[in-house]
A = this chain, B = another copy of it.
Amino acid sequence: MAKILIVDDEEKIREFVKKYAVFEGHNVVEASNGMEAIDICKKEKFDIIVLDIMMPELDGFSTCKELRKSIDTPIIMLSARGEEYDKIHGFEIGIDDYVVKPFSPKELMMRIDAILKRTQKVANTQNEVFEKDTLKIDFTARIVTIDGKKIDLSPKEYDLLFYMVKNRGIALTREKLLTDVWGYDFFGDDRTLDTHIKLLRKSIAPYNNLIVTLRGVGYRFEA
């Protein structure tokens, strides 16, 4: 069906992805690191590239950046939970989708299928955007504006805001926020989340009420 390049330093992951992709009738080529991927791409053309972020030497982002200089093959990133959340969302034009580890083969295949389906059609260069009154969040460009004026947010503020907006209308427990935005291994103080909520509210000033406190539970971003 499609020709896929899977780039990961762990052989087991490559094997696993390959197994399921082949099962679905795809043609799979493996690369164990970024440099190798770049070399291979000079010779062959793929329909989709699955790229792990965490790799020794050339990481996924750098590899992606390099690849983008010559090709526009859709790229799906693999990332650990809590890892580089905003980097993934903010990465300029580079990434088509990402999958958070751990993931099931089914999920990855679904994403691959979705992208393949999408790329058959006319290129959709529309940025992914959330808007509410004069608050505008452009996930693709990584820009937040209020009333047309650009708002400066720290990385963590972006992480948190993006995550909450992506999951707006859902009651998010403190635990879920901490593990998903900070990563599963966050051991920190209980007040860290509150503090960042505070900073974020301050930053999005007139819209601070969009972040609703759910006492005893966590927070919710109003849909």
Contact = CB atoms under 8 A, between A and B. Distances in A.
B96 A107 contact: yes
B102 A97 contact: yes
Interface string A75-109: 10100101001001111111111101111111110
Contact of A141 (B12, B97, B127, B170): B170
A123 B187 CA distance: 35
A159 B140 CA distance: 22
B96 A92 contact: no
A72 interface: yes
A215 B170 CA distance: 28
Interface residues of A, number: 59
B107 A103 contact: no
A223 interface: yes
Contacts of A185: 82, 85
Contacts of A90: 10, 12-13, 101
Given A13-B91, A154-B215, A171-B142, A72 B105 contact: yes
Interface in A42-62: none
Nearest to A222: B141
A142 B212 CA distance: 11
30 contacts: A10-B90, A10-B91, A12-B90, A13-B91, A16-B94, A68-B105, A74-B104, A88-B101, A88-B102, A89-B102, A90-B101, A93-B102, A93-B108, A94-B105, A96-B102, A96-B107, A100-B184, A104-B175, A106-B119, A106-B173, A106-B175, A107-B175, A110-B176, A127-B169, A140-B170, A142-B214, A142-B220, A155-B215, A155-B216, A155-B217
Given A140-B171, A141-B169, 15 more contacts: A12-B91, A17-B93, A75-B104, A88-B101, A88-B102, A89-B102, A93-B105, A95-B102, A96-B102, A100-B184, A107-B118, A141-B171, A142-B214, A142-B217, A142-B220
